[in-house]
Amino acid sequence: MTQHETKSDGKSAADNGLQTEFVERWRDAAYNCYSSGHKFCREVCPVMQVTRDEAHTPTSFHANIVAMEKGHLSVEDVARDYVHCTQCGACELRCPNTLFTGDFYRFRTRTVEVVRAMRALAVDSGVEQEGWKRWVELTDSYRSEPVMGDVEVSQDHVADWAQGLDIPIGGDTLLFCDCEGAFFRTSTPRAAAKILKAAGVEFGLMREQWCCGGPAAEMGYVEKARSFAEHNIADWRSVGANRIIVFDPHDYISFTEDYPRYFGDDFDFEIVLMVELVAELVRDGKLKLTQPINRTVTYHDACRLNKRKGIHEAPREILRAIPGLTFKDVDHVTQWSYCSGAGAGLGIERPDLTAEISRRRIERAAELEVDALVSACVWSERPLSEQGGKRAEPIEVLDLLELVGQSAGLDDEEVGS
């Protein structure tokens, strides 16, 4: 280290105007945070709660942009720090700028977008994270994410989960199955499909389903993500689909936020979130939950539903409708600070952090003296299950749709198996 080496020229070695453009775009938003300095976001951040490193905070994520404007830092200096975010959105909600001036000014702190934009700048500037780079390359190659599961990841097997369920290809309504469900937790899409059939909802599958592209977009590979989106939309159009049902919250973000951004008004599909549809079907009596499930559970608010989309009532409504179930709830605001750590590629670059965030979430559940944690996010279920299984008194992690399937008497497999 040299004497007070505080000055870099702040110029990115790879800058061909990209960093300047980025700073121009985000500078004012950055000052809205920098000028506040409240840092109320910090203790709700699932990553910061573990690392306690100020460089991993929304405050720093914004201050870095001010430092870039002033010529103190460049994208090379900060790119690695932006790995430390699950894009859960808790910080945005907890920000006083959102809470107390948001309505009046129609303003909301957009840390998730800042993180995504910085990651994209890094990728476009050639500052890549090895794990993410490999993940996106493999996703490109397989057309699905390279999730480690029992099913080989390839287009030949992307619909293996549906074997024996007699689901047609195409139609007005499609069920989109995310990569983790297609190749690892296949019991979840099976439960989803059976529920839809039992409730009389007609639906089909895509001809050739690719990854939604969301993970690539979250890691900064925007063009790659868009190419997946283009394929999927072309597939939907080719089979005459107008309505897409998704059970994975991450897909829901892709289809309701990323795709409209890519395609503007041309994106005219109705996106239906399975958990909201199920709540409606139960409410309307079209899906009968008759089989008692004699377990004591709590619910894990999926970040992308609760914090990103404000969806927290529907899953609770469903759980309360299941006979026999003892449901010990923790309110959705308290759960702003909970997360599984699985989102936005954190588990690829920092599996240690994902494991610790999941462990803490499981311990929160254990304090309630429950025997299972129910999740509505298939991506959260693997790391949470791993940690739940490590306990002396294991906490099982159940998928909400699988639980519904069981209570509706549609089960041909043990829940959670």
The binding site for another protein (CB under 8 A) comprises 1-8, 28, 31-32, 34-40, 42-43, 52-55, 59-60, 63-64, 66-67, 70, 72-73, 77-78, 81, 94, 96-97, 99-101, 103-105, 107, 367
> Phi/psi class of residue 5: alpha, beta or left (left: φ > 0; alpha: ψ in -120 to 50)?
beta
How many Cα atoms within 13 Å fall on the side-chain side of residue 169? 9
Give the nearest distance from C-beta 352 to another protein in angstroms: 11
Give the nearest distance from C-beta 88 to another protein in angstroms: 17
Give the nearest distance from C-beta 80 to another protein in angstroms: 8
Contact between 86 and 379 (Cβ < 8 Å): no
CB atoms within 10 A of CB 251: 27
Cross-strand bridge partners of residue 397: 373
Own/partner long-range contacts of 260-268 (Cβ < 8 Å, ≥24 apart): 262/226, 262/229, 262/230, 263/229, 263/233, 267/233, 268/242
Contact between 153 and 147 (Cβ < 8 Å): yes
Q: Which is nearer to another protein, 127 or 314 (CB)?
A: 127
Give the nearest distance from C-beta 335 to another protein in angstroms: 12
Q: Which is nearer to another protein, 36 or 173 (CB)?
A: 36
Q: Which is nearer to another protein, 66 or 322 (CB)?
A: 66
Q: Return d(Cα 306, Cα 44) in angstroms, integer.
A: 14
Give the nearest distance from C-beta 70 to another protein in angstroms: 6
Give the nearest distance from C-beta 307 to another protein in angstroms: 16
Q: Return d(Cα 404, Cα 383) in angstroms, integer.
A: 22
CB atoms within 10 A of CB 390: 13
C-alpha closest to that of 111 among 85, 145, 129: 85
Q: Which is nearer to another protein, 49 or 256 (CB)?
A: 49
Q: Which is nearer to another protein, 97 or 125 (CB)?
A: 97
Q: Return d(Cα 232, Cα 205) in angstroms, integer.
A: 12
Q: Which single residue is written with the structure tokens 């790391």?
A: 383
Give the nearest distance from C-beta 52 to another protein in angstroms: 4
Q: Which is nearer to another protein, 94 or 295 (CB)?
A: 94
Cross-strand bridge partners of residue 174: 204, 244
Could you tell me the two tokens for 169?
A: 């290809």
Q: Which is nearer to another protein, 60 or 380 (CB)?
A: 60
Give the nearest distance from C-beta 33 to another protein in angstroms: 8
Q: Which is nearer to another protein, 141 or 334 (CB)?
A: 334
